[in-house]
Amino acid sequence: MLAGSFKPIPHIVQQHAEEAAILHDVRSAQVTAPHVKLHHLRRIDDRIAAHLDGLAVAGEYGTSVCEMALESPGNGEVFAATVRAIEEKDEPRLNKLFALVQAVPESKDGLASAFSWVSAQFLQGTAVKLLTSTDPFRQQIGISACVMHRVDPGAILTQLVAHPDQPLRARALQAAGELGRRDLRSVCENYLAEKDVNCRFWAAWSAVLLGNRRNALDLLKTFSSLTNPFQEEALQLVLKVLPSSDAHTLLKTLAQAADQYRYLIRGVGIVGDPYYVPWLIKQMDDPKLARLAGESFSLITGLDLAYLDLERDAPEGIELGPNDDPEDDNVAMDEDDNLPWPDPIKIQAWWDANSSTFLNGERYLMGARVTREHCVQVLKDGYQRQRLAAAQYLCLLEPGTQLFPIGAPA
């Protein structure tokens, strides 16, 4: 049925707009969740697509409902409105959305994800306008769209990695690694001493993805061992590259600081050496660390603790997240929410029976040595955090490979 050939039902169209916004926000959390696989993303993607189709069928009325929702502009509301503007090639509305997001920066992710969501056919012409704009923010969004669609901007990216605007330059340097631009490795290396920390980090991160195993790797080691906004990102990459002895030294550094203990447990899983498995099993006795230790154990061995009945009930009386007590000031979310509670007794029994199939000093990902074929399989079957590890390994195994976007529509 063509838009405009019927009279929209207001409350149905309103529901489409509300559900599209809500589901977008749910999906944003699921992209990095430890319990979500590709087929889970597919389910929510199908629901989002259905609601967006409902808005498209409603035509101008659907677009107006999306615009009214922008009175309270969250990421979901901006996402739905931007998808409509892109698909309608409505440049004036798109300009208004860019102005809105620059006034309300916390809704930026909704705008960026809309450009990642729409099919490439709707970006023809639009993406080029963004990349060649005189507005650095629009150029950032253009780069992000290209990365998610795995489209190389070519000479434009070569220019933007040297742009005087620091946030844009940092995004371009990051994109150089994500898009496998080996020709830009030397440019990234030139920014390893950059004053701006964002540019410095992403230059090092991309240079390592593109094959640097010297000064860029040394800089990432510094980021990974000290508390800073990039520590998690740095650890994820550094510990996949370092030889076993160097990785062990870095883990020992983390072990010396109490506030780094969670990074230590996560890092052990990234290193993938079965030598650490007995230590991980011991950490499962601590309720504050048990689920994280279980995740690292699974990253090494490939075991799905819930599926194999290697989990237990949560300990009685433990509260690790916000509760209903209005007097309690703790509003921090439980970092390990949705991870299974490992049963250390069952897991120890499994390890006693199966440890001989693993070799200490080797690097394992999901129960197998790291190979291209195995990483592709993990991309198909793994949970989102495991899929990220596999995507990075594919780049590290063959520098110049584009980083697979695990957050792309399923």
Tell me whether residue 131 is in a domain.
no
Q: Which residues of 81-94 are buried (b: 16+ CB within 10 A; e: fewer)?
A: bbbbbbbbeeeebb
345-351: which pairs have CB atoms within 8 A and are 24 or more residues apart? 346/309, 346/310, 346/312, 347/281, 347/284, 347/294, 347/297, 347/305, 347/310, 348/281, 350/303, 350/310, 351/277, 351/278, 351/281
Please give the pLDDT value at position 325: 57
The domain of 16 spans: 1-118
- Predicted pLDDT at 6: 66
Residue 373 forms part of a structural domain: no
> Which pLDDT belongs to residue 332?
64
In a domain, 387, yes or no: no
Per-residue pLDDT of the chain (410 residues; tens, 9 = 90+): 444 456 889 999 999 999 999 999 999 999 999 999 999 999 999 999 999 999 999 999 999 999 999 999 999 999 999 999 999 999 999 999 999 999 999 999 999 999 999 999 999 999 999 999 999 999 999 999 999 999 999 999 999 999 999 999 999 999 999 999 999 999 999 999 999 999 999 999 999 999 999 999 999 999 999 999 999 999 999 999 999 999 999 999 999 999 999 999 999 999 999 999 999 999 999 999 999 999 999 999 999 999 999 999 999 877 775 555 555 555 567 899 999 999 999 999 999 999 999 999 999 999 999 999 999 999 999 999 999 999 999 999 999 999 999 999 99
pLDDT for res 1: 42
pLDDT for the residue 7: 80
The reply to whether 328 falls in a domain is: no
Residue 38 lies in a domain: yes
- In total, how many domains does the chain have? 1
Residue 85 covered by a domain? yes
Write the burial class of residue 196 (CB in 10 Å: 0-12 exposed, 13-18 middle, 19+ buried): middle
Q: What is the rounded distance in angstroms from the CA atom of residue 369 to the CA atom of residue 300?
A: 9
Contacts 24+ apart (CB under 8 A), 286-293: 287/315, 287/318, 287/320, 288/320, 289/261, 289/262, 289/265, 290/341, 290/342, 290/344, 291/336, 291/339, 291/340, 291/341, 291/342, 292/262, 292/265, 292/266, 292/335, 292/336, 292/339, 293/265, 293/342
